A and B are shown apart, each in its own frame.
Chain A
């Protein structure tokens, strides 16, 4: 299963990754440094998988990564539950989801979480520049979704080499 190559189009994934990074920016001063680093690392991992240089982790590795990060999270939060910690848990969830983005279904899940992350951003930053940044992040997410649903436009106009899709 881990050996299977990704089916998602690179363009869609790239837009989603950029959208993710843009949406992380408004949170940079509140998130613990290790979490930001982990998110960037996990997103980079996914991108290298798309490039064919790495593989998506198998079940055990994925479990290990997830367990470690959640353990660190719990250790740092120490039962102080606030909106702040909830949103950082949210960011952690997005970061971990990158490691199992295989099908368009996973892609949709990521899209939905990221849209909600944008809404969460508005809880902390309401300056006009921050608002514009978050909205442009949402636009990037929508672009990603659109490129997922638009096949590489018309490879051969007549006679269609893509005709034998069966």
Chain B
């Protein structure tokens, strides 16, 4: 089964390539396949001779043209100093080629734990660079401009955050991240690609539901009141060791010193549960967006809540860790993590 986001990706790429000539298209596919074979998916890599590409930039081509014109001028006027200048600059171009290449060569790049965020937001990927020589002006691109420019001092760790735009929820893994340098003169560019292996998780875009979920309405109407004595779904029982302190009814405790715990055993449709089935007849992605908004809302209010998705239940709890767990569950629900080698050309 091809993951849903991957299909979208492939379709988007296809749509982009429609105007391409079939032969060009084929060539590009071959190129990609060759590249993917050459550059394995991995979170940290040391750039070496085999994976660094180098070509003159547009300015480099103009520079070559300029040298040619200078050479012709020198020949025309039989001026040896112009020859000298031309050949010096030619030698400089060759030296710059080595310097540009060496700037990338031996550079170690590692993707740290990827960040997360909501669909449509840029998702941060932390990168760490290290080199046994000084490596100025290293630029990382992930498909869109502008890139992230880093200068790596000798034998020092340099961190940066690469932002990758997300389009929809699920796992996000940039197909290729381009590492480029034009140091020292911008006449040549050397580049390589990285293919990170650990995907980031993109949460659904939160959308406040227009009406409360079914079976929750009664409780939501009295939002803000603590789970009180009067509510049928909540059973009160004496405090036992191991109960979460947040569940203790502290109001009652302050009144008469009883440690009473609000207990919700087997309550269906309780306000504390955010349920996927609470929005029947609504599009799946929309439901997840609603649930995301509710998770954020509950978390902001400091409530205890659980999340129920088909095939996944997260027990009621609270706090940042719990929120993160719920959001991750919402983001990855129904999605399979990207496998080692993505399908080619399908």
Contact = CB atoms under 8 A, between A and B. Distances in A.
Same complex: yes
Contact of A146 (B88, B151, B153, B185): B185
B149 interface: yes
Contacts of A158: 157-159
Interface stretch (B78-86, B211-219, B223-231): B78-86
B101 to A, nearest CB: 15
Given A108-B59, A149-B137, A165-B147, A159 B159 contact: yes
Interface in A113-144: 115-116, 118-120, 122-123, 126, 131, 134-135, 138, 142
Interface string A27-68: 000000000000000000000000000000000000000000
B159 A160 contact: yes
A104 B66 CA distance: 18
A126 B81 contact: yes
B158 A157 contact: yes
A164 B162 CA distance: 7
B69 interface: yes
A122 B185 contact: no
B146 A146 contact: no
B62 A108 contact: yes
B66 A116 contact: yes
Interface in B138-175: 146-153, 156-161, 163
B158 A138 contact: no
B73 interface: yes
A145 interface: yes
A153 B66 contact: no
B135 to A, nearest CB: 10
A164 B161 contact: yes
Contacts of B149: 151, 162, 165
Nearest to A104: B186
Interface residues on A, range: 20 to 34
B146 A166 contact: yes
Nearest to B81: A122
B342 interface: no
B25 to A, nearest CB: 31
Contacts of A138: 85, 88-89
Contacts of B59: 108
A148 to B, nearest CB: 7
B82 A151 contact: no
B186 A149 contact: yes
Given A123-B77, A150-B184, A115 B66 contact: yes
A116 B89 CA distance: 11
B328 interface: no
Given A112-B62, A115-B66, A116-B66, A151 B79 contact: no
Contacts of A153: 136, 151, 153
Interface string B180-217: 00111110000000000000000000000000000000
Contacts of A160: 150, 158-161
The residue in A104, A120, A135, A166 that gathers the most chain B C-beta atoms within 10 A of its C-beta is A166
B120 interface: no
Given A154-B151, A165-B146, A145 B186 contact: yes
A46 to B, nearest CB: 20
Contact of A157 (B74, B153, B183): B153
A162 B147 CA distance: 11
Contact of B183 (A118, A142, A149, A162): A149
A57 B156 CA distance: 44
Contacts of B161: 160, 163-164
Interface string B73-113: 11001010110011011001000000000000000000000
Given A145-B184, A165-B147, 6 more contacts: A115-B70, A149-B185, A150-B184, A153-B153, A157-B157, A165-B146
14 contacts: A104-B186, A116-B69, A119-B74, A119-B86, A123-B77, A135-B85, A149-B182, A150-B184, A153-B151, A157-B157, A159-B159, A160-B160, A163-B160, A165-B149
**Which 4 residue pairs of A and B lie closest in terms of their CB atoms, listed nearest first?**
A166-B163, A122-B81, A163-B161, A163-B160
